[in-house]
Each structure stands twice: as C-alpha cells, then as structure tokens.
Amino acid sequence: MAGITRRAAAAGLAAAGCAPAGRVPAQTGDGPGLRVLARARGAVFGTAIRAVQLREDAALRALVAREAELLVPEWETKWDTLQPQEGRFDFSGLQDIVNHAAAANQRLRGHTLVWHEAMPPWLAPALAEGPARAQRLLEEHCRVVLGTTVTVIRDWDVVNEPIANPPGADHPAPGPGDLRDTPWRRALGPDYVELALRIARQQDCTLRLTVNDYGVEADTPWAADKRARLLRLCRRLLERGAPLDAIGIQAHLQMRHPFRAEPFIAFLQELRGMGLALAVTEMDVREPDALAPTLEARDEAVAAFTETFLRAALEGGVRSFLVWGLSDRDSWLVSMPGVRRWDGVATRGHPFDEQLRPKPMRAAFARAFG
C-alpha cells in the first residue's frame, strides 16, 4: 500500500494550482493568527477538522490555515473510517487533510488507535472472539495505519479514554478497577493499554505515544478521582517500562462544573514529574445552564473561563493546545444528541462564531499566549 506523504500531497496540490507548502501568510489584515501567537510563546495551537469541511467550506479552510499550526482529524484517523471492513483500509479522507495541511504548512496528530467508540460494526464481535484474535487485529491495524502515515503523523493517541468515569461524573461508568469496561479491555485484559503502547512502539520507535482522556479538569470530587485514576495508570505503565510519552487532556470544559487552577496544576506537575509530555487535545467550552442575558455577556463569560484554564495549563507545563473545532459553525456541541443543550440554545464554545468572526474566546487564547 502506498504511504501518505507530504511531498506527494504537495505535488498534487501544485498540480491543482494550489499554494505550495509553507507559503501561507502568517499574518493577514486581521493580525497574526493564533498559530503565530502561540509560537511566540513557545507553544503550538491547532484544531480538529474534518476532510469534508476543508473540501466544502472555503472560508473555514482559510481560517484554519491562518489560525492553526497543528491539525487532528475529527473522524479520519479513527478505526471506523480507516478500516470500515476487516482488511479494507481507506485513507482517502485522511489524504485530503494531509493535502491541505501540506499547503498550509501544518502538522498532524493521529486520533486514535484504540477507543471504545468509532468502531466499525464488525470490530466488537471480532474482538469478542478472544485475546489472540484481538491482538492480531490491533497489530495489523497499527502496522498498516502507522506504516502508511509514518511521514505525516508523528504523534498518536494510542489509547483514548481508558479511565472509568467515577460516581458523580456526567456519565458514571465505574468499571472494574480504574479502567473503563470496554470491548478492548474485555478482549485483551487489564493490561491492554500497555499492550497497545508496545505494539505502537514496535511499529515505529520514534513516534510520540499518547494516552488521551477527558473529565480530569474540574474542581469536583469525581474529577479528582479521575485524575487519581489516570495518575495511577501512568505510574503503573512507567514502572513496567511501557512506552508512554505523553498525556492528552481533552478539556471538553463545562462551565457548570467549577474549575480551580491549583489542583489542576498539581496534577499536571505530577505528570510532568513522571517525565511525560502534556497536551490539551480537544478543548471547547459548554456554557452553564443559566445563561447571561446577552450574547456579549455570554461570550465574555466563556472567554474568562477559557483564559483561567489556559493560564493554569500553561503554568502546569502544557505547550500544545488543540481546540475541537475552531468555530461554532458545525460544532459537535450543538449537533450531538446528549451533548447539545436541553433548552435548544446553541452553546458558543469555540473561538469563532458561526459566521467565523472572532469571539472573546479567541482573544482569551491570544492573551494567554501573549
């Protein structure tokens, strides 16, 4: 199978009359993009994106090129997209994103090799056939996916959301021990995170291997419990010599949960003390149940919450910040059942509004990087 390369992607774009890699202006009439402001701070800013958005939404495409240095495919590096049927791999969506990233001089990270969601229908029954079959499937997926993307993706969420949600969390799922009960855990046993990391490392010893999770940011008993569970997992993995390089903190923040910098910074410092790199990987903000009376006031409140969080993350040693979508247009916060607001109001949880105009949240990023 042909690998995905930036050079091939850039050549394809040149043939199509698009700008070659590295020529995207770092600054426009609107001032420097967040990617430039982050760089000045020694940080990286990026966003999740879907291939279809880049193909069909020229304005969003231009915004992403200006603002983001790092892209993570929202769908295109998940198992259901990459291996919809056993043994049939489809990199077409990812190739589209790689092409655009090459033109905008952007890097990519991969998300995700092991997750209990975004599984094609055939996968869970196949995993249930037993550990030997499950391990072979994971090895083959990693061999093909990491082999194909080797020159364009150097950082992978190897395991996504392995930690169980403690009692009190939005969707409590305590699980046996610290880990979530998933088809992967059931098939491969409680050491499946370590196994997945080792398989990925075996494929390429220079990749950055990340475990990514959510629900560890708030100042609540259940978030503290989840932080403790994640810390225990990291300690155990490192004691056993597992190849874990980084922790991804999703940061799907909710303003109805309190946030306090101190416990969050202490948690980040503990991870850093273990030698782990840190990244905020999927940041967005859900507004509180009781909304301020005007859009301006709502946006200012989101921005203040954002800035407090970002400053804490920076102080805790995070230097990589991805939002889960740049704009309120087409946001999963609005489209996904169970996540969208009970009152039908569209939450304004991204740095740009539906018309792609910068909001105070975007200014909060700029100030935090400043």
Q: Which residues contact 269 (CB under 8 A, 6 or more apart)?
A: 316, 317
Q: Rank residues 82 and 277 by Cβ distance to ligand G3I and give the closer one.
A: 82
Q: What share of the chain is helix, strand, coil (3-state, %, to 5)?
A: 40, 20, 40
Q: Which is nearer to ligand G3I, 104 or 159 (CB)?
A: 159
- Cβ of residue 62: shortest distance to ligand G3I, in angstroms? 22
Closest distance between ligand G3I and the C-beta of residue 213, in Å?
9
**Residue 317 neighbours by CB under 8 Å, 6+ apart:** 268, 269, 272, 278
With respect to ligand G3I, which residue has the nearer C-beta, 250 or 306?
Answer: 250
What is the rounded distance in angstroms from the CA atom of residue 196 to the CA atom of residue 199? 5
Which DSSP category does 346 fall into?
A: P
Which residues of the chain form contacts with ligand G3I (CB under 6 A)? 74-75, 78, 80-81, 117-118, 160, 250, 282, 332
What 3-state class would DSSP assign to 356? coil
CB atoms within 10 A of CB 275: 10
Q: How far is the CB of 80 from ligand G3I (least distance, A)?
A: 5
Q: Among residues 6 and 180, whose Cβ is nearest to ligand G3I?
A: 180
The CB-based long-range contact list for 179-182 (8 Å cut-off, 24+ gap) reads 179/233, 180/116, 182/116
Nearest to 318 by CA among 112, 42, 74: 42
Q: Rounded to an integer, what distance in angstroms lies between the CA atom of residue 96 and that of residue 359?
A: 28
Nearer Cβ to ligand G3I, position 352 or 369?
Answer: 352
What is the closest distance, in whole angstroms, from the C-beta atom of residue 334 to ligand G3I in the complex? 11
Tell me how far, at minimum, the Cβ of 113 lies from ligand G3I, in Å.
12
Closer to ligand G3I by CB, 19 or 89: give it.
89
Taking the least distance from each CB to ligand G3I, the nearer of 56 and 117 is 117
Residue among 53 and 220 whose Cβ is closer to ligand G3I = 53
Q: Please report where in the chains the tokens 């550990």 appear, as a residue.
A: 131
Residue 48 CB, nearest approach to ligand G3I (Å): 7
| Minimum separation from the CB atom of position 56 to ligand G3I (A) | 12
Which residues neighbour 273 within 8 Å (Cβ) at sequence distance 6 or greater?
Answer: none
Reduce the DSSP state of residue 251 to 3 states and report it.
coil
Report the C-alpha gap between 143 and 3 in whole angstroms: 12
How long is the chain? 370
To ligand G3I, the closest distance from the beta carbon of 336 in angstroms equals 6
